[in-house]
Amino acid sequence: MRTAICDMLGIDIPVLAFSHCRDVVAAVTNAGGFGVLGASSHTPEQLERELAWIDDHVHGRPYGADILMPGKFEGKGQGLDVEDLAGRVPAGHREFVRDLLARNGVEAAADGPVRALVGDELNAQLLDVALSHPIRLIANALGVAPPSMIERAHAAGIPVAALVGAKEHAVRQVEAGVDVIVAQGTEAGGHTGEVSTMVLVPEVIEAVSAVRAVPVLAAGGIVTGRQVAASIALGAAGAWTGSVWLTTEEAETAPHTVQKMLAASSRDTVRSAARTGKPSRQLRSAWTDAWDAPGAPSPLPMPLQSMLTEPALRRLDALAERGHPGAQELATYFVGQGVGLMGKVRPAREVVREMAEDLLDAAERLQAALGVDED
């Protein structure tokens, strides 16, 4: 199957796979899809190592990078360093986290060094690193892609993608010069809006077509090839996927969290700002319940909430794997409603293969239903 995104990126299967794990990115790319490395979880030095490793393992096949560049965040344009930002985290929020851990039998660790996951200087450095490698796509979310990102990518011949959760956001992205729109429905894991994928995709396609014709990818709860086929039937050029790769053999997802995902249903996720400060879909747990309970403090703006929560959540992952019951109750991670279809651990290449076969089967069923003769 060939779509506009296949032609743009030089891939065989219209499936893009977002992952923070280099092994997943390489495996998907080598299987005929398009791996996209989440760069914002890395320092510039780490990103350089990860992309160099991917270069060595994909042998010239196409892959991309995603840099989280929110349009608004605490301290934007103020020249603040990490210590300045950390000083803006209220003492009451820190006390809430300590109490939450204590109620679940987890001793709070001493406050240690943290880093902001977003920042103008950090984003510029990550972009420098990404553009020094042979990436074929650069993606952005949580706001209109910065002009510098679009200009530098286009100068290097690299298309820019943007994730959106509303049609008006898609229009602004296309007007800014973005080349690919990812219409991400509320079913998705991570940062997401309130409109379902089935509604959002045709809305976005219709809205952007009035501005400029660009490929639109569907995202949100997509785990199977028949869902990719449904996306194409809606007019999308393919699918942007993320959650499905969290339970692959190559993924770096915390082992206990993998088991929680395998046992979860589509109703075991919640859209909460408790992790990053912006609404994001994740596994429901004692952690998300506590932040959504009456009397809980309001989540802080990005990146302050992440600076508060990530050290604790990563420690919980380690304790949960060692069998700590309280940590296991609290452990959570970003995942979409498609988690209900993620019932076993498989190699990433097998997931791509099954998606491709499922996609073709769905296309054949549609042809048969329409009375189309393949000959």
Question: What integer pLDDT is reported at residue 83 of this predicted model?
Answer: 79
Backbone angles phi, psi at 283, to 5 degrees: -65, 135
Is there a domain that residue 306 lies in?
no
Is there a domain that residue 210 lies in?
yes
**Number of compact structural domains in the chain:** 1
* pLDDT confidence band for 367 (50 / 70 / 90): confident
Is there a domain that residue 266 lies in?
yes
Is there a domain that residue 211 lies in?
yes
pLDDT mean over 261-267: 97
Domain that holds residue 174: 4-73+118-284+332-370
User: Rounded to whole angstroms, how far apart are CA atoms 275 and 300?
Assistant: 9
* pLDDT reading at 76 higher than 90: no
Q: What pLDDT digit, counting tens, does each position of 101-110 carry?
A: 999 999 877 6
* pLDDT reading at 111 higher than 70: no
Is there a domain that residue 101 lies in?
no
Tokens of 348: 């990433």
Q: What pLDDT digit, counting tens, does each position of 204-231 carry?
A: 999 999 999 999 999 999 999 999 999 9
pLDDT mean over 331-351: 96
Is there a domain that residue 132 lies in?
yes
Peptide bond into 301 cis (omega under 30): no
Question: What integer pLDDT is reported at residue 322 of this predicted model?
Answer: 95
Is there a domain that residue 300 lies in?
no
pLDDT mean over 289-300: 95
Q: What pLDDT digit, counting tens, does each position of 254-263 carry?
A: 999 999 999 9
* pLDDT reading at 119 higher than 70: no
Please give the model's pTM, rounded to 2 decimal places: 0.92
Q: CATH number of the domain at 175, please.
A: 3.20.20.70
Neighbours of 115 (CB within 10 A): 14
- Which of these, 281, 289, 43, lies nearest to 184 by C-alpha position? 281
- Look at 168-182, 214-228, 301-315 and tell me which has the smallest mean pLDDT: 301-315
Edge-first strand order for the sheet with 190-191 is 190-191, 280-283, 269-272
Question: What integer pLDDT is reported at residue 115 of this predicted model?
Answer: 57
Is there a domain that residue 159 lies in?
yes
